[in-house]
Structure 1
Amino acid sequence: MASKVQVEKVATLTGHRDCVYALEPAAEEHLFFSAAGDGMVVTWNLQEPENGELVARVSTSVYALCYLPQRHLLLIGQNQEGVQVIDLESKQILKSVPLPKVAIFDIVHAAGAGKIFVAMGNGAIAVLDGDSFELSTFIRKSDKSVRSLAYNQHTNELAVGYSDHKIRVFDANTLELKHELVSHTNSVFTVAYSPDGELLLSGGRDAHLRVWEVDNNYKERGYLIAHMYTINHITYSPNGDHFATCSMDKSIKVWDAKTFKLLKVIDKVRNASHGTSVNKLFWSAHQNQLVSCSDDRTISVWDINF
Structure 2
Amino acid sequence: MLDEGEVITVGSDGCVRIWDFETIDTADVIDETGLLQIEPINELQVGKNVKLFSMEKMNETGSNFWLAQDANGAIWKLDLSFSNITQDPECLFSFHSGAIQDLAVSPITYLMATTALDCSVRIYDFAGKTPLAQMKFKQGGTALAWVPQMVCFYNGAQISVGFEDGVVRILEIYDPKELTIFAGRKKILDADLRLKHVFKPHTASVTALAYERDGEILATGSKDRTVFFFEVERNYKPIGYINTPGPICQLTWSGISHPESTLLIICENGYILEAPLPTIKEEDDNKVVSYEIKDMCIKCFHFSSIKSNILRLIEIEKREQQKKLKEKEREERRRKAAEEMGEDGEKEFQEEEVAAEEEEEEPLPAIFIPPTPSPILCGFYSEPGKFWVSLFGMDAEPIPKDIEDPKAYSIENARRKREHDKLMKEVEEIKAGKREQLKALRNEFRKLLEMNKELPKHMQFKRTVSLK
TM-score normalised by length of structure 1: 0.58
After TM superposition, give the deviation of residue 117 of structure 1 in Å. 0.1
Indicate the structure whose relative CO is greater, using CA pairs within 8 Å and at least 6 residues apart.
Answer: 1
Q: Which amino acid counterpart does residue 274 of structure 2 have in structure 1?
A: V
Q: CA offsets, 1:109-129, max 9 Å, x none?
A: 124454210121211112101
d(CA) in 2 for partners of 1:133 and 1:288?
A: 41
Are 1:135 and 2:102 an aligned pair? no
Amino acid at match of 1:185: T
Tell me what 1:23 maps to.
none
Pairwise CA RMSD of aligned residues?
Answer: 3.1
Letter of the aligned partner of 1:224 in structure 2?
I
The 5 A counterparts of 1:33-44 are: none
**For 2:305 and 2:386, how far apart are their aligned partners in 1?**
20
In 2, Cα distance between equivalents of 1:131 and 1:113? 9
The question of 1:264 aligning with 2:300 is answered yes
Q: What residue number does 2:247 align with?
A: 230
Contact 1:237 1:284 in 2 (8 A): no
For normalisation by structure 2, the TM-score amounts to: 0.39
Closer/same/farther in 2, CA of residues 284 and 135 from structure 1, 3 Å limit: farther
Give the whole-Å Cα distance in 2 for the aligned partners of 1:135 and 1:288. Answer: 41
Aligned-partner SS, 1:222: strand
Does structure 2 conserve the Cα–Cα contact (< 8 Å) formed by 1:212 and 1:221? Answer: yes
Instruction: Quickly say closer, same or farther: Cα 1:121–1:297, change in 2 above 3 A.
Output: farther
Residues 173-228 of structure 1: CA deviation (Å, up to 9, x unaligned) = 4522111111211110111111111110001111111001101110110010122x
Alignment check: 8 A CA contact 1:113 1:172 kept? no
How far residue 258 of structure 1 moved from its aligned partner, in angstroms, is 4.5
- Separation in 1, partners of 2:297, 2:193: 35
Matched, 1:204 2:240: no
Give the letter aligned to residue 278 of structure 1: I
Letter in 1 for 2:381: W
Q: Answer whether contact 2:271 2:300 (CA < 8 A) is retained.
A: no
Query: Residue 252 of structure 2 aligns to which amino acid in structure 1?
Result: T
Residues in 2 aligned to 1:278 and 1:172: alpha-carbon distance in whole angstroms: 34
Shift in alpha-carbon separation, 1:284–1:125, aligned structure 2, 3 A: farther
Equivalent AA in structure 2 for residue 212 of structure 1: F
SS at match of 1:284: strand
C-alpha distance in structure 2 between counterparts of 1:277 and 1:119, whole Å: 24
Give the corresponding residue for 1:150: 145
The percent of aligned pairs where both chains have the same amino acid is 20
Provide the residue aligned with 1:296 in structure 2: 393
Q: 3-state DSSP class of the match of 1:184?
A: coil
State the SS of the aligned residue for 2:193.
coil
SS at match of 1:127: strand
* Letter aligned with residue 147 of structure 1: T
Give 5+ residue unaligned stretches, structure 2. 1-71, 74-92, 175-191, 280-295, 310-368, 397-468
Partner of 1:99: 95
Equivalent residue number for residue 183 of structure 1? 201
Q: Kindly provide the amino acid, as one letter, of the partner of residue 196 in structure 2.
A: K
**Offset of 1:298 from its aligned partner?**
5.1
* Inter-partner Cα distance in structure 1 for 2:109 and 2:122: 14
2:373 to 260, 275, 281: 275
Q: How is 1:72-111 mapped onto 2 (pairs within 5 angstroms)?
A: 99-111=95-107
Aligned-partner SS, 1:176:
strand
- The structure-2 alpha-carbon separation of the partners of 1:136 and 1:172, relative to structure 1 and needing over 3 Å to count, comes to closer
1:220 is aligned to 238
Give the number of aligned pairs.
203
State how far apart, in whole Å, the 2-side matches of 1:123 and 1:284 are. 35
- 8 Å Cα contact 1:111-1:130 kept in structure 2: no
| 1:169 alignment partner in structure 2 | 170
Deviations, residues 54-82 of structure 1 (Å, cap 9, x unaligned) = xxxxxxxxxxxxxxxxxxxxxxxxxx99x
